[in-house]
Structures are given as C-alpha cells and as structure tokens.
C-alpha cells in the first residue's frame, strides 16, 4: 500500500548528516544575486576565463572571439543593407523594374548573410575545440597540485572540501565559463549590432529596441531564477534520493536489504522523497508559466507601442516605409538576442562562482606544497632517529603524538604496538616522511628528513598501509606500482607474500584485471588483497620497509607464514612492523609500546613481559583466548 501523500511542509528534512554539502556552498548567493551583483563581478570573471582559454589554446580562443565579433559587424551591415533592398521594392513603378533596382542591395545582403554564417560556423568550430582543451588544462593543473601537496592537507577538512569543490564543480565549470563567456559575447554582439543599425537608420529608433527587448530579457532571467530556486529547494531531498537509490540498486547492500526485509521501508522512504520532489517541480512549472505569460503580455504590449511609434514616425514623414520595415526586423533580432543574453549571463554567473572555487583552490594548494629540496638521502642509511617528536592533526584538539623518541638501526626489526588510537600509524607515516613533525626532528643518519628531497627519500622506503588501495589495475601493475618490471623479482615478491597462490587461480595470472566494474575483471577477498599489497612491499627494494597491520584479514596459517617471510625479508633491511597480534612480534629486536601518543614502554618481548606493564597485560589478554577453560 502506497503511503498517503503529504503536504510539502510536512516532509521531514534531509537526514544525510550534511547540513551544507560542499557542492551547495554557493546556493544562497545564487538565489540572492541580482543583475547589479552580476554586473560588478562578471568583468573579473570574464578576464580570468579569457586568460585560461588563452593558455589552453591561443588560436582557438582568437578564432572563437574574432569570428563572433566580425559576425556582429556583418549582422549590423546586413540590417542596414536591408533598408536599401526595401526602398526600391516599396517605390512606385512596375514590379520587374523595382526588383531589378533592388538586386544590387539584395546581393550585398546575401553576401553579408553568407559571410556572417561562415564566421559563426568557424567560431562555433573553434569554440567546440576550445572546451575540451580548457577542461583538460584545468584538470591537469588541479591533479598536479593534489598529487604534490603535503599529506596533512587531506586531513584538513577545509582543504579537502575546497579540493572537492574545485574537482567536482570547478573543473567542469572552467569549460562552461569559457563557453558561456563566448556565448555572452555572441549575445552582446547580437544586441549591439541591431542597436547600432537602428541608430544609424535614425537616432530615435534605438530606444525602441529597449522598449521591446527588456521585458523579454527580464522574463528569461526570471524563468531561469525560478528553475534554480527549485533546484536549491530540492538539493537535500535529491541527495537522500540518490542515497536510497544506491541502497536499492547496488550490489553491496543487496544482501542486507533482503536479510533485514528492508524493501518496504526503503520504497516508502523513496516515495516520500519523490513526492516532495514532484510537488516542488509542479509548483515551479506553474510559477514559470505565470512568469512567461506575464512576460509575453508585457512584451506584446511593448511591441504594440513600438509599432504605433513607428506608424507615427511614418505618418509624420520622419522615416520612410523601407526603413520602418528594416527597423522591425532589427528590433525582433535584438529581442531574441537580449533574451538569450540574459539566460547566458545567469548561467555564466553561476558557473563563475565554482570557477572561482577552482582558482581559489589553486592558490590554496600552492601554499601547501613543500619547497623542493636538493639533498638526496644517504644510501644505505645506518640509523633512523626520532627525537622528541610531536604531531597534531589539523583541527584536532589533542596531539596524536607527544615527545616520542625512537632509534632504529639498519637491519633491525622494530615493532610498534598499542591500543587503537595510540599513534602507531601516525608515527610510521612520520618516519616515512609522509608527515612532518610539529616539533622535534627525525634524522636519516645525521640529516633531518625536512632537508631531504621528498621524492628521492620515498623511493627508498616501502609503506604497506593498513588501508591499502585496491588499485583497478592488473595484478602485475598492482605489485610493480609504476616501477620497471623485473619478472624474476615480481615472481619472488609474490611468493614471499603468499600471493602466488592467489595469482595461480586467476584465469590470466599476472595480467588479470582486479576490478569487477570492467569487463573480464576479477575481485579478491580481503585476505587475498592483503597478500597482493604485501607483495608490493617485497617488490620495492627499499632500505626501510613499514608494514601496517599486514595480516588483519589473513587466516591463522597465512598470518604465521607471512610473518615468517617478513622476518626473512628483513635480512639487510630495516623493518617497522605495526600490529595488534602480539604473538607475532616476539621475533622483533625491539618493541615500542605506544599509549595515547607517548612511548609507554620499550624492550624486547621477554623484557616487556617481565616488566609487567601494558604490553604484558595486552599479551596475556590475547593469550587467554587460546587457553582451555578448566
């Protein structure tokens, strides 16, 4: 049974947890912006769009703008020449004679129309070419920045939202801004050309264009604003509708939808939101129709007034009949151009706000890029030292690490253990040079990591993260990760991680694509993915290898085998191991126990058990789970 329809005001607000989504950041401004606001901001916006287009393609930018401007000249010329065509046609005498007299002017009009059409086609071709070039230029520059900023930038909520606005709205709207800027130029030329032609015919004719064109332009702007207001009112409802559609149509929640018999609940929720959307759309259609009807009425009234004025000018002998007829054509052309221009300006202003986000993000990102360093880290290093290191995430009230000091010698296996949130992963990222400490120093031998070239440093470090990425690439590419392919080392790394068994079961082996979204792609279990990720670490011939929870998705047999392989792989390398499985760190040369961002204990397995502190407590808790209950 379908739920009873409710009034719009009865519908509950969106419950997605996002009061103002990043893509809605300009909605209030768009609703309140008038023509005055647009007029003040558009010049700077248009200038920025031209600069971007010029960098993307100078030739296409010049052709698109030049073609439209020249087309406007021939529009005005054609309207003036039309008066010369009509003058002999409206004169006295036999019809054949009047037609022959009009032929020269008619040929001029035809030539002007042909040249105008050719220029518009060429300008349109250049404009179509310009759009993908602008978008590519903008997107490339964005990703150059996002892949270069410091990792902490992505932990900053404001930076992350700014990046998403720039990526999801700003980049697509860069092309839109350029396209609508050219369209606005075309529309402005389409208004100016008839106005100039009317002024040249007779000064009194120019004001008549505004009398008829302004109501049509206002109606177009009002209709566009009503449409956007409806979009704004429905934005939160649509977000919930999209969420519900994903819950009912995607693979991941399908099992729980059936297991918890959620079908009726989800359909009722969807129907409630769809009812809200429909009511708003119907109301908008009614208001748009009323606005268009009133606008058409005003335009019709103004047109009648203009025709009466033209009749008066004709009766008074101020203009000839041919000029009046040409004026009618010019006024109608100006009406259509102004209506189109108003819609384009509204669209340009909207796209321009998000284009502004793109420009602002570029400036913001530039401040989050570490200055390049020229110093290469010593290879191989002999000692890695952290001295009184502290670190706080952007926006956090408490530090993630406080006064942590650790020394790691070449060839050692060091374990970092502790409860969730103790700072283990954060400290590992600091050691890998992914974060910079707020205070304290981390030294690669005697050189501060802050003085080393970041890319060169990370070439000598291998990090297998707990939340490793499941790259939509082949098995080979997932392991090699952009490095030169060495088949022997590839096979050895897969075997060391236990991934060779996984790969042997795939139809195409190392060439199997690991993403079910692509035809012929394959998906892996969590444990299988973890073996592929571990193979990444083994393949990278690094001096420092960091394993962050490398066995969280493995069964007991696979876990034991992987830790044995990690121990063998440590020969000559420095390994930092982060794990909650304390039985697996007994072989470590030294164990650091972190508690609330501080080093609580350190020593080898036996020393820490004898100490009877936090490590001993956690170890015995885990061990008790495997003891038989008497």
pLDDT in tens, 455-506: 788 888 888 877 778 888 888 998 988 888 888 989 888 888 888 888 998 8
Identify the residue with better confidence: 72 or 367.
367
Same domain, 80 and 54: yes
Same domain, 502 and 558: no
Same domain, 353 and 307: yes
Q: How far apart are CA 595 and CA 422, in angstroms?
A: 5
Same domain, 446 and 479: no
What is the DSSP secondary structure assignment for residue 591, as one 8-state letter? Answer: E
Same domain, 180 and 132: yes
Q: pLDDT category, 10, cuts 50, 70, 90?
A: very low
Per-residue confidence (pLDDT) for residue 30, from 0 to 100: 55
Q: pLDDT category, 69, cuts 50, 70, 90?
A: confident
The two beta strands, 383-391 and 439-444, are: antiparallel
Chain centroid, CA 76 distance in Å = 42
In a domain, 27, yes or no: no
Among 501, 522, 541, where does a domain finish?
Answer: 541
Q: How far apart are CA 237 and CA 224, in angstroms?
A: 21
CB 578 within 8 A of CB 551: no
Instruction: State pLDDT tens for residues 294-329.
Output: 888 887 787 787 778 777 777 777 877 777 777 777
Identify the residue with better confidence: 266 or 38.
266
Q: What residue numbers bound the domain in which 423 lies?
A: 375-460+542-630
Per-residue confidence (pLDDT) for residue 22, from 0 to 100: 52
In a domain, 23, yes or no: no
Among 302, 333, 366, where does a domain finish?
Answer: 366
Per the structure, the count of domains in the chain is: 3
* Residue burial 489-515, b: 16+ Cβ < 10 Å; e: rest: bbbebbebbbbbebbeebeeebebbbe
Closest CA to 72 of 185, 208, 240: 185
Name the percent of the chain lying above pLDDT 90: 7
Instruction: Answer yes or no: is pLDDT of 433 > 80.
Output: yes
What is the DSSP secondary structure assignment for residue 542, as one 8-state letter? Answer: -
Q: How far apart are CA 302 and CA 338, in angstroms?
A: 15
Same domain, 302 and 451: no
In a domain, 19, yes or no: no
Per-residue confidence (pLDDT) for residue 401, from 0 to 100: 92
Same domain, 242 and 356: yes
CB 511 within 8 A of CB 475: yes
Q: Which range, of 133-137, 196-200, 266-270, 591-595, averages the lowest pLDDT? A: 196-200
Same domain, 338 and 431: no
Among 305, 338, 366, where does a domain finish?
Answer: 366
Q: At which residue do the structure tokens 């049974």 appear?
A: 1
CB atoms within 10 A of CB 220: 22
* Residue burial 87-120, b: 16+ Cβ < 10 Å; e: rest: bbbeeeeeeeeeeebbeebbebbeebbebbeebb
Instruction: State pLDDT tens for residues 600-623.
Output: 999 988 888 988 889 888 888 877
| CATH number of the structural domain spanning residue 488 | 3.40.50.300
In a domain, 307, yes or no: yes
598-603: strand order across its sheet: 461-464, 544-548, 574-578, 413-418, 590-595, 598-603
> SS3 for 354?
helix
Contacts 24+ apart (CB under 8 A), 144-148: 145/361, 145/362, 145/365, 145/366, 145/369, 146/365, 148/365, 148/369
> In 57-94, which ranges are continuous DSSP H helix?
58-90
Instruction: Answer yes or no: is pLDDT of 217 > 70.
Output: no
Per-residue confidence (pLDDT) for residue 24, from 0 to 100: 57
In a domain, 13, yes or no: no
Closest CA to 109 of 80, 87, 70: 80
Q: Which range, of 15-24, 318-327, 415-424, 477-486, averages the lowest pLDDT? A: 15-24
In a domain, 68, yes or no: yes
In a domain, 70, yes or no: yes
* Full DSSP string of 24-52: GTTHHHHHH--HHHHHHHHHHHHHHHHHH
Same domain, 564 and 519: no
Q: How far apart are CA 304 and CA 423, in angstroms?
A: 78
| CATH number of the structural domain spanning residue 100 | 1.20.1560.10
Same domain, 404 and 486: no
Which token pair is 481?
């990760």
Calculate the average pLDDT of the chain.
79
Per-residue confidence (pLDDT) for residue 3, from 0 to 100: 40
CB 295 within 8 A of CB 218: yes
Instruction: State pLDDT tens for residues 77-99.
Output: 776 666 666 666 556 556 566 56
CB 5 within 8 A of CB 226: no
In a domain, 17, yes or no: no
Per-residue confidence (pLDDT) for residue 13, from 0 to 100: 42
Per-residue confidence (pLDDT) for residue 23, from 0 to 100: 52
* Full DSSP string of 440-479: EEEEETTEEGGGB-HHHHHHTEEEE-TT----SSBHHHHH
CB 593 within 8 A of CB 417: yes
Per-residue confidence (pLDDT) for residue 191, from 0 to 100: 79
Same domain, 194 and 113: yes
CB atoms within 10 A of CB 213: 26
Cis peptide before 472 (omega within 30 of 0): no
Q: pLDDT category, 374, cuts 50, 70, 90?
A: low
Same domain, 473 and 597: no
Instruction: State pLDDT tens for residues 229-254.
Output: 776 677 677 778 888 888 898 878 88
């Amino acid at each position: 049974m379908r739920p009873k329809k409710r009034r719009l005001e009865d519908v509950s607000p969106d419950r997605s947890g996002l009061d103002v989504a990043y893509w809605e950041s300009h909605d209030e401004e768009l609703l309140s912006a008038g023509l005055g606001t647009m007029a003040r901001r558009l010049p700077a916006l248009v200038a920025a769009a031209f600069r971007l287009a010029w960098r993307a393609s100078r030739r296409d930018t010049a052709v698109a703008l030049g073609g439209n401007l020249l087309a406007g000249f021939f529009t005005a010329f054609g309207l003036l020449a039309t008066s010369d065509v009509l003058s002999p046609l409206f004169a006295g005498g036999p019809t054949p004679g009047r037609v022959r007299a009009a032929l020269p002017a008619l040929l001029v009009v035809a030539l002007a129309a042909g040249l105008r059409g050719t220029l518009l086609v060429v300008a349109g071709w250049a404009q179509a070419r310009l759009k993908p070039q602008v978008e590519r230029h903008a997107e490339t520059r964005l990703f150059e920045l996002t892949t270069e900023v410091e990792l902490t930038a992505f932990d900053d909520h404001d930076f992350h939202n700014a990046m998403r606005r720039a990526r999801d709205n700003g980049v697509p709207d860069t092309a839109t801004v350029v396209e609508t800027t050219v369209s606005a130029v075309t529309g402005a030329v389409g208004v100016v050309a008839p106005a100039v032609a009317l002024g040249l015919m007779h000064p009194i004719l120019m004001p008549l264009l505004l009398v008829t064109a302004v109501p049509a332009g206002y109606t177009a702007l009002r209709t566009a604003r009503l449409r956007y207001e409806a979009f704004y009112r429905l934005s939160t409802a649509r977000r919930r509708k999209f969420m519900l559609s994903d819950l009912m149509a995607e693979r991941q929640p399908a099992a729980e939808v059936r297991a918890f018999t959620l079908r009726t609940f989800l359909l009722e929720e969807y129907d409630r939101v769809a009812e809200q959307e429909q009511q708003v759309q119907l109301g908008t259609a009614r208001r748009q129709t009323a606005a268009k009807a009133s606008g058409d009425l005003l335009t019709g009234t103004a047109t009648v007034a203009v025709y009466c004025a033209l009749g008066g000018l004709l009766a008074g002998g101020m203009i000839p009949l041919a000029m009046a007829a040409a004026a009618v054509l010019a006024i109608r052309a100006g009406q259509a151009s102004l209506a189109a221009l108003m819609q384009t300006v509204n669209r340009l202003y909207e796209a321009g706000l998000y284009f502004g986000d793109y420009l602002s993000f570029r400036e913001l990102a530039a401040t989050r890029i570490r200055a390049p360093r020229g110093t290469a880290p010593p290879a191989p290093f002999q000692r890695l030292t952290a001295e009184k290191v502290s670190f706080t995430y952007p926006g956090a009230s408490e530090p993630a690490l406080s006064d942590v000091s650790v020394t790691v010698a070449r060839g050692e296996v060091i374990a970092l253990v502790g409860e969730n949130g103790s700072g283990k992963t954060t400290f590992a990222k600091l050691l890998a040079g992914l974060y910079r400490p707020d205070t304290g120093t981390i030294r690669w031998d005697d050189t501060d990591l802050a003085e080393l070239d970041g890319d060169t440093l990370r070439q000598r470090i291998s990090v297998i993260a707990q939340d490793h990425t499941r790259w939509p690439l082949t098995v080979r590419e997932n392991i090699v990760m952009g490095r030169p392919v060495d088949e022997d080392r590839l096979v050895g790394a897969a075997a060391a991680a236990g991934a060779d068994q996984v790969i042997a079961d795939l139809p195409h082996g190392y060439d199997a694509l690991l993403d079910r979204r692509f035809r012929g792609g394959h998906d892996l279990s969590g444990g299988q993915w973890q073996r592929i990720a571990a193979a990444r670490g083994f393949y990278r011939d690094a001096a420092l290898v960091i394993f962050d929870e490398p066995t969280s998705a493995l069964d007991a047999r696979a876990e034991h085998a992987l830790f044995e392989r990690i121990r063998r792989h440590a020969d000559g390398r420095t390994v930092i191991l982060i794990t909650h499985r304390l039985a697996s760190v007994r072989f470590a040369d030294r164990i650091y126990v972190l508690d609330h961002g501080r080093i609580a204990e350190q020593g080898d397995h036996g020393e820490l058990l004898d100490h009877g502190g936090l490590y001993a407590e956690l170890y015995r808790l885990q061990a008790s789970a495997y003891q038989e209950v008497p």
